[in-house]
Structure 1
Amino acid sequence: MAPLPIPSPEPADDLDSYVGLDGETAERRARTRGWTTVRSLPPGAVITLEYLGSRLNFTVDDGVVERCWQG
């Protein structure tokens, strides 16, 4: 039997600190803080519901982060 995969550790980060940043700055900051996957989405985007603990999601409107959540 194959060993179970070990998930990436979840970065300790203040997600509210991303709101109000421009999208590119937010993505760079997230990667330097250890998020392995960073996803920028337009408002109202349809997304899958699978949870990835090491993924950070942004809703970006007019170049500015409006919402940020993990998973």
Structure 2
Amino acid sequence: MASIPSSAPRPDDAPDSYVGLLAENAQERARQRGWTSVRSLPPGTVITLEYVAGRLNFEVADGQVKRCWAG
């Protein structure tokens, strides 16, 4: 039987610390801190509710992070 793959652990990082940063700077910081996937979305974007360990989501308006959450 094949083993079940383990997902990457979530970095010990506070998503709220990205709010207010420029999107480019926030993405760079997130990757440096160990997030395996970083996704930038405009406000009001319809997305699925699947949780992906190691992913950080940014809601970006006018080039600035307005909201941030893991998954």
TM-score (norm 1): 0.97
What are the superposed Cα offsets for residues 17-67 of structure 1, whole Å, 9 maximum, x if unpaired?
A: 100000000000000000000000000001111101200000000000000
Q: How many residues align?
A: 71
Say if 2:28 is the partner of 1:56: no
Question: Once superposed, which parts of structure 1, at least 4 consecutive aligned residues long, lie more than 2 Å away?
Answer: none
Matched-pair identity in %? 65
Say if 2:36 is the partner of 1:36: yes
| Unaligned residue ranges in structure 1 (runs of 5+) | none
Please, what is the CA RMSD of the aligned residues?
A: 0.6
TM-score (norm 2): 0.97
Distance 1:63 1:14 in 2: 20
Say if 2:27 is the partner of 1:27: yes
| Unaligned residue ranges in structure 2 (runs of 5+) | none
Q: What is aligned with 2:6?
A: 6
